[in-house]
Structure 1
Amino acid sequence: MLTGRKYRLELTAAQAEQGQEFADVCRAVWNTALEQRREYRRRGGRMTYVSQTAELAEAKREFAWLCAAPAQVLQQTLRDLDRACRQHGPFKVRWRSKGHWSPSLRFPDPQRIHVERAGRKWGRAKLPKLGWVRFRWSRPLGGAVRSATVSRRGGRWFVAFLIEDGKIAPEQHSLPTSAVGIDRGVKAAVVTSDGTFHHRAFTSEGEAVRYRRLQQRLARQRKGSANRRKTIAAMGRIAARVADRRTDFYARTANRLTTRNALIVLEDLRVKNLTASAAGTLANPGRNVRQKAGLNRAILETGWHRLELALASVARYTGTRVVKVNPAYTSMSCHACGHTAPENRDSQAVFRCRACGHQDHADINAAKNIKAAGLAVSACGDVGAGRSVKQEPKSRATGRTLCVGESPVHAGEEAKCTG
């Protein structure tokens, strides 16, 4: 099974300067190749990875500065660009700017990568053109190296190794009948259907105050100045610490959830749509723009998508299945009787059913609905997942309104469901 191991590099001044030179060359290759693809598309043609790789080889004979970076790193840059253009189109792929792009250099040939332990706390790796680089030996490799990626974030350099650990995913979980539903929120990052709350503050009060002051200082500084670069570096260090805490929190949470549950059910949330701006136009201005902006910041700060990534990574080792269900009405439907109404949600934390009087924490009630929907999907198959969230689902057999998690195809046809 393929997995990753990330370590902090301790580069010398010359190696850090050389790594930055590699990054500048890769950024220039990316931007030039992207402009070439856009120009070809405007004329009705297309560029491919193969043709751009051939042109890169010719350009290296004319421009000596392209030879400063390893050839494989430049080829991987073109490969990444090709994948991005095929997935999003060349006009939606972004440029790599000098001030906002974090360098990332991938070395794909394992034959040219040598890793060895240099002491109790240190290891070293030999990479093309960089030579031997030291890194903090924070954990064993645990397998054969397949590739290496050198990156810079928050003023520090890191190396990540892709490892083949030799493990095989289990066919069945150790607790095959266990299941849990997860509701993601802002007040509590993760709430499970068994009533457990998982949350922590990723940014301290002091860091929030300092970051805001740095933002104010940045707004007054001249672009391109040395002081502006120092301010951006200080902001990057704070953001890196916050990102590390977020990654650690979701890794620990995912490990606990996958160890204890064979089935994990999540809402199929479109975070990009949920965090879209509410600002309109001059002719049609938006409503509650500042409130929506605050909610968007809170959602992005919580990092909902991080949980999905962590669960997908850890679930391979436990045999856990991760299922996504339609999020429609999970927060306003009563888990006890199935009554759905916006009035059931008294507040952010209080749920009181207007039909049966059932009371519960709103997030726990939503997590129970999510779990029920996931169990229904596991039993009957994932059908009707693409229905609109703006329309209450109807049964095709009886025409009645369905409860959360009930399939519009199988409603009224329960005898056909063998789950």
Structure 2
Amino acid sequence: MLTGRRYRLKLTTAQAAQCEEFGNICRAVWNTALEQRREYRRRGAWMNYHEQAGQLADAKTEHDWLKTAPSHILQQALKDLDRACRDHGTFRVKWRGKQRWNPSLRFPMGKLIEVERLNKRWGRAKLPKLGWVQFRMTRQLGGAVRSATVSRDGRDWFVSFLVDDGATTPQRHAAPHSGVGVDRGVAAAVATSDGKLIDRDFVSPGADERYRRLQQKLSRQKRGSANRKKTLGKMRRLKRRERDRRADFCSQVAAELTDRNALVVLEDLRTRNMTRSASGTAEEPGRNVAQKSGLNRAILDKGWHKLELALRNAARYTGSEIVKVPAAYTSQTCAVCRAVDPESRESQAVFRCTQCGHTAHADVNAAKNILAAGRAVTACGDLAVRRSVKQEPQPALALVGTPRL
């Protein structure tokens, strides 16, 4: 099974400058190839990877600066562009700007990469044209290296190894009849159907205050100045710590849920659509823009999409099934009598059924409804968007039915 291992690099000044140069060349190849693809599309023609790879080889004879970087990382940049254009469309793929894009280069030839442990804390890897680079070896690789990606985050450089650890997905979970429903929220990041509320603060009050002061300082500095770059570097480091805490939280929660449950059910939430700006246009300005922007920040802060990705990654090792069900009426339905009434949701945290009087935490009640919907879907043999023709979904799954007026 393929998995990733990420380590912080300790580059020399010359190696860091070399990585920066390689990244700039990859960025130039990406932008040039993207512009070429767009010009072809405007004329109703197509350009694929193989044609551009051949033209890249010809361009090296005319431009010596292309020879500085290893050939396969430039070819990999063209492959990534080809995949991005196929997945999102040529005119939806973004340019790689010098100010907004962090240098990144991938070495796809795993046979050319050597990794050695130097001592308890440090290891080193031999990369084409970079030579031996040291990295903070916080854990063993655990398998054969398939590729390596060197990237910069702020002022620090990192290397990510794609490793084949030899593991396989189990045919059957250790607890095959277990299941859990997961409700992702804003007050608590995760609420489970067994009554657990799991949350964590990813930003400390001190870090939040430091970031606010850095923002004020940044607004008074001149664009392009050295002091402004230092301030931006400090802000990026604070945000990176926040992202690392969020990723660690999602990984821990995902490992616990998949280790204990053969079925993990989530709501089918379109996070990208839910966090769109409400500012509108000049002709039709949006309403409640400040409230919507606050909700967007809260949703992104809890890492809803990162949790889903972490669950799917962890499920590969436990054999768990990740099922998504419609989110309609899950927070308005009683988990006991199945009555649907918006008035049952008294507040953010309190659910009291207007029919049977059942009282529970609102998010836990929603998680139980999500689990019931997921079990009904799997009973129909339907784990995707399409419906099985063998059995009709039960009305209870719906949370279907019309809400009470």
CA distance in 2, matches of 1:262, 1:117: 37
1:402 and 2:390 matched: no
* Residue 250 of structure 2: aligned partner: 250
Matches within 5 A, 1:81-230: 81-230=81-230
Q: Deviations over 1:55-92 (max 9, x none)?
A: 11111111111111111111111100000011111111
Question: 3-state DSSP class of the match of 2:396?
Answer: coil
The answer to whether the 8 A contact 1:369-1:405 is kept is no
* Residue 239 of structure 2: aligned partner: 239
CA distance in 1, matches of 2:108, 2:224: 35
The answer to whether the 8 A contact 1:189-1:199 is kept is yes
The answer to whether the 8 A contact 2:323-2:383 is kept is no
Cα deviation for residue 235 of structure 1 reads 1.0
Report the CA distance shift for 1:407/1:339 in structure 2 as closer, same or farther (over 3 A): closer
Which amino acid is 1:44 matched to? G
CA distance in 2, matches of 1:173, 1:246: 27
CA distance in 2, matches of 1:404, 1:98: 50
Q: Deviations over 1:13-48 (max 9, x none)?
A: 111111111111111111111111111111111111
Which amino acid is 1:402 matched to? P
Which amino acid is 1:367 matched to? A
Cα deviation for residue 227 of structure 1 reads 1.7
CA distance in 2, matches of 1:342, 1:305: 27
* Residue 281 of structure 2: aligned partner: 281
The answer to whether the 8 A contact 2:329-2:400 is kept is no
Which amino acid is 2:292 matched to? K
Which amino acid is 2:374 matched to? G
* Residue 360 of structure 1: aligned partner: 360
Moved more, 177-186 or 206-215: 206-215
The answer to whether the 8 A contact 1:330-1:404 is kept is no
Cα deviation for residue 167 of structure 1 reads 1.5
CA distance in 1, matches of 2:395, 2:380: 15
CA distance in 2, matches of 1:276, 1:403: 31
Question: 3-state DSSP class of the match of 1:248?
Answer: helix
CA distance in 1, matches of 2:84, 2:130: 27
1:61 and 2:81 matched: no
CA distance in 1, matches of 2:222, 2:59: 36
Cα deviation for residue 267 of structure 1 reads 0.8
Structure 1, unmatched stretches of 5+, are 388-395, 409-419
CA distance in 2, matches of 1:178, 1:106: 40
Which amino acid is 2:359 matched to? Q
1:347 and 2:341 matched: no
Cα deviation for residue 97 of structure 1 reads 1.1
Which amino acid is 2:34 matched to? L
CA distance in 2, matches of 1:368, 1:34: 47
The answer to whether the 8 A contact 1:376-1:406 is kept is no
Question: 3-state DSSP class of the match of 1:222?
Answer: coil
Cα deviation for residue 350 of structure 1 reads 0.8
Question: Sequence identity of aligned pairs in percent?
Answer: 61
Cα deviation for residue 218 of structure 1 reads 2.3
Matches within 5 A, 1:10-21: 10-21=10-21
Which amino acid is 2:101 matched to? W
CA distance in 2, matches of 1:285, 1:340: 34
Cα deviation for residue 285 of structure 1 reads 2.6
CA distance in 2, matches of 1:53, 1:384: 37
Which amino acid is 1:354 matched to? T
Aligned residues: 398
CA distance in 2, matches of 1:384, 1:231: 47
Q: CA RMSD in A?
A: 2.0
Question: 3-state DSSP class of the match of 1:266?
Answer: strand
Moved more, 83-92 or 59-68: 59-68
* Residue 77 of structure 1: aligned partner: 77
The answer to whether the 8 A contact 1:338-1:404 is kept is no
1:32 and 2:25 matched: no
Q: Deviations over 1:320-350 (max 9, x none)?
A: 1111111111111111111112211111111
* Residue 391 of structure 1: aligned partner: none
Cα deviation for residue 386 of structure 1 reads 7.4
CA distance in 2, matches of 1:95, 1:219: 26
* Residue 311 of structure 1: aligned partner: 311
CA distance in 2, matches of 1:309, 1:159: 21
Q: Deviations over 1:348-390 (max 9, x none)?
A: 1111111221111010001000000100011013389479xxx
CA distance in 2, matches of 1:5, 1:162: 7
- When normalised by structure 1's length, the TM-score is 0.91
- When normalised by structure 2's length, the TM-score is 0.94
Structure 2, unmatched stretches of 5+, are none
Question: 3-state DSSP class of the match of 1:162?
Answer: strand
Which amino acid is 2:396 matched to? C
Cα deviation for residue 151 of structure 1 reads 1.2
